[in-house]
C-alpha cells in the first residue's frame, strides 16, 4: 500500500528557503512586527536605562512583540512563552531567533504596566484611523479574576480582632495551666513553647492592624498584596480583582480596560468617561435594567408593566387604572412591605 512519505531529515534541500518564506504575507505576526517598530517606545514609558556591564539586555521592542503575540494567542504564562520561542516558527521569525527566559518575560510585564496600557490605547487609535471603530455605541461589563491569595491569607480589621481575641483567650488558658503546674518540667516547657508561638502570632496580627491604621487600606492580602476580598455573585465573596472593559459595537474591538480591587459600584460611569476622553466619542448611554426579582400574584401586574406619568407623579397599571401613593406602608400576611413598587402592585390588585 502506498503512503505519502516525508523527506529525509538528514538530506539538505536543493534550494534552501529562508524562515521569512515560511511565514505567509497575511500572517498577523507581520502586523505585530510593523506596529511595534512604528512606535517610539521611549515616549510610552518603557525603560531604556540599562547598565553596560554584564550580559546585554533584551530590547523592549522584542519583549513587547512577544507580549502582544501571547495576548493574541491566549498565552499568559511566561514559561509557556519561553518554551514557544524555541519551537514556534512564528515566534522564531518575530524575535529573530531570540529566546528570553521566563524571568525576563515576567519582569518585563511586571515593570511596565503603564507603558503596556499606553500601547493598548495606541492600538485603539490605530483602529480608529482605519475606521474600525464606530464610536456611537459602546458596551461595558466587568469580570472577576480570582487572585492567587486565599481567603485564609486575607485580613480585615474585624478578622484581625477575632484572631487576637482568640489568641488572648488561649494565652490566658496556658498561663493559668502554667501557674498550676508544680514539678512536671516537661509539661511546663511544652506550655511555654505554646505561649511563645501564640505571642508571635499575636504580634503578626498587631502588625497587620498597624498597617491598616497607618496606610488607610481596608484589607491586607499576604501573598497577593494588591488583591481584595470582594463580592463575586450571589453574595459569594472571593479574593480577586475586578476588570472593567468597554468594547465598541461596530467590530467588537476593546476600547479601554481597567483592573481594580473594588466592587462594581459606580464603575461604569467612570469607564464611559475614560472612553470619551481617550477617543473623543459622542456616546449615548443605554442602561440595561435588571428584571424584577419579585413577581406580583398576577405576573401581568409586574412593575415593568406600570407606566409612570412624571407630570402627575402617578402610575397607570395594566388595567388602565391611575394609581398614586399616599406615602404609607402596608403590612400583608404579617410581612412589612418596604418596596414602594410592590405596594403599588398590591394596591392596584385590591382596587380591581
What does the pLDDT look like over 169-219, one tens digit per residue?
Answer: 999 998 888 887 766 778 888 888 999 999 999 999 999 999 999 998 999
Q: Which residues of 2-21 are buried (b: 16+ CB within 10 A; e: fewer)?
A: eeeeeeeeeeeeeeeeeeee
Q: What is the dihedral of CA 214, 218, 223, 229, to 10 degrees?
A: 180
Grid cell, residue 352, equals: 380591581
Is 83 within 8 Å of 105 (Cβ atoms)? no
Are 35 and 97 found together in one domain? yes
Range 107-116 average pLDDT: 92
Q: What is the pTM of this model?
A: 0.62
The pLDDT of residue 323: 84
pLDDT value of position 191:
87
Domain boundary among the residues 217, 236, 254 is at: 217
Residue 247 is placed in which grid cell? 468594547
Same domain, 76 and 112: yes
pLDDT of residue 55: 79
With respect to residue 293, please indicate whether it lies within any of the assigned structural domains.
no
Report phi then psi at 125, rounded to 5. Answer: -65, -35
Asked whether residue 115 is assigned to any structural domain, the reply reads yes
Q: What is the mean pLDDT of the chain?
A: 84
pLDDT of residue 329: 76
Model pLDDT, residue 65: 96
Q: Are residues 30 and 78 in the same domain?
A: yes
Q: How far apart are CA 287 and CA 139, in angstroms?
A: 10
Please indicate, yes or no, whether residues 111 and 31 belong to a single structural domain of this protein: yes
Confidence bin at 15 (pLDDT 50/70/90): low
Whether 150 shows a pLDDT value over 60: the answer reads yes
CB of 133 closer than 8 Å to CB of 124: yes
Q: 190 lies in a domain?
A: yes
Lowest mean pLDDT segment, chosen from 26-40, 106-120, 302-316: 302-316
Residue 145 within any structural domain of the chain = no
Q: Does residue 107 sit in the same domain as residue 29?
A: yes
164 & 100 share domain: no
- Spell out the alpha helix ranges (H) of 95-249: 102-111, 113-129, 157-180, 185-215
pLDDT tens digits for range 244-292: 888 888 899 888 888 888 887 767 777 777 777 665 655 565 666 666 5
Question: Domain range for residue 162?
Answer: 157-217
Other beta carbons within 10 Å of 214: 8
Tell me if 101 is assigned to some domain.
Answer: yes
Whether pLDDT at 68 is above 90: yes
**In the listed set 167, 197, 217, which residue is the last one of a domain according to the structure?**
217
Q: Give me the number of domains the chain comprises.
A: 3
Residues 25, 114 within the same domain? yes
Q: How far apart are CA 89 and CA 234, in angstroms?
A: 46
Q: Is residue 307 part of a domain?
A: yes
Same domain assignment for residues 38 and 106 = yes
Residue 350 has a pLDDT of: 42
The pLDDT of residue 166 is above 80: yes
Check whether residue 95 and residue 191 sit in a common domain: no
Q: Is residue 137 part of a domain?
A: no
Which of 217, 232, 254 finishes a domain?
Answer: 217
Distance of alpha carbon 255 from alpha carbon 119, whole angstroms: 12
The rounded distance, in Å, linking the Cα atoms of 27 and 198 is: 61
In a domain, 37, yes or no: yes
User: Do 110 and 164 have their domain in common?
Assistant: no
7 confidence band (pLDDT: 50, 70, 90): confident
Q: Are 44 and 94 members of one domain?
A: yes
> Are both 32 and 90 inside the same structural domain?
yes
Please give the average per-residue pLDDT across 39-54, as a whole number. 83
Note the helical H segments in 38-77. 41-44, 60-72
Amino acid at each position: 500500500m502506498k503512503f505519502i512519505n516525508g523527506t529525509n531529515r538528514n538530506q539538505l534541500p536543493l534550494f534552501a528557503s529562508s524562515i521569512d518564506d515560511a511565514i505567509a504575507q497575511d500572517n498577523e505576526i507581520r502586523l505585530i512586527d510593523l506596529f511595534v517598530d512604528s512606535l517610539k517606545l521611549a515616549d510610552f514609558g518603557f525603560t531604556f536605562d540599562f547598565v553596560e556591564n554584564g550580559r546585554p539586555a533584551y530590547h523592549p521592542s522584542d519583549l513587547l512583540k512577544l507580549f502582544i503575540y501571547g495576548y493574541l494567542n491566549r498565552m499568559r504564562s511566561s514559561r509557556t512563552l519561553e518554551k514557544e520561542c524555541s519551537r514556534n516558527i512564528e515566534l522564531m521569525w518575530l524575535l529573530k531567533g531570540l529566546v528570553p527566559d521566563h524571568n525576563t518575560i515576567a519582569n518585563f510585564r511586571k515593570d511596565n504596566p503603564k507603558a503596556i496600557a499606553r500601547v493598548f490605547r495606541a492600538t485603539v487609535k490605530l483602529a480608529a484611523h482605519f475606521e474600525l471603530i464606530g464610536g456611537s455605541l459602546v458596551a461595558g461589563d466587568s469580570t472577576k479574576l480570582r487572585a492567587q491569595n486565599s481567603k485564609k491569607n486575607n485580613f480585615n480589621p474585624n478578622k484581625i480582632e477575632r484572631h487576637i481575641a482568640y489568641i488572648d483567650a488561649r494565652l490566658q488558658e496556658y498561663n493559668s495551666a502554667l501557674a498550676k503546674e508544680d514539678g512536671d518540667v516537661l509539661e511546663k516547657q511544652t506550655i511555654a513553647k505554646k505561649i511563645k508561638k501564640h505571642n508571635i502570632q499575636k504580634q503578626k496580627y498587631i502588625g497587620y492592624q498597624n498597617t491598616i491604621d497607618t496606610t488607610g487600606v481596608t484589607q491586607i492580602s499576604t501573598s497577593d498584596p494588591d488583591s481584595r476580598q470582594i463580592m463575586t455573585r450571589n453574595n459569594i465573596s472571593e479574593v480577586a480583582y475586578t476588570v472593567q472593559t468597554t468594547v465598541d459595537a461596530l467590530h467588537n474591538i476593546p476600547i479601554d480596560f481597567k483592573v481594580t480591587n473594588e466592587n462594581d459600584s459606580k464603575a461604569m460611569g467612570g469607564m464611559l468617561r475614560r472612553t470619551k476622553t481617550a477617543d473623543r466619542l459622542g456616546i449615548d448611554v443605554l442602561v440595561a435594567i435588571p428584571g424584577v426579582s419579585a413577581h406580583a400574584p398576577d405576573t401581568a401586574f409586574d412593575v415593568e408593566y406600570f407606566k409612570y406619568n412624571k407630570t402627575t407623579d402617578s402610575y397607570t397599571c395594566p388595567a388602565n387604572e391611575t394609581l398614586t401613593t399616599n406615602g404609607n406602608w402596608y403590612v400583608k400576611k404579617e410581612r412589612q412591605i418596604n418596596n414602594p413598587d410592590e405596594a403599588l402592585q398590591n394596591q392596584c390588585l385590591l382596587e380591581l
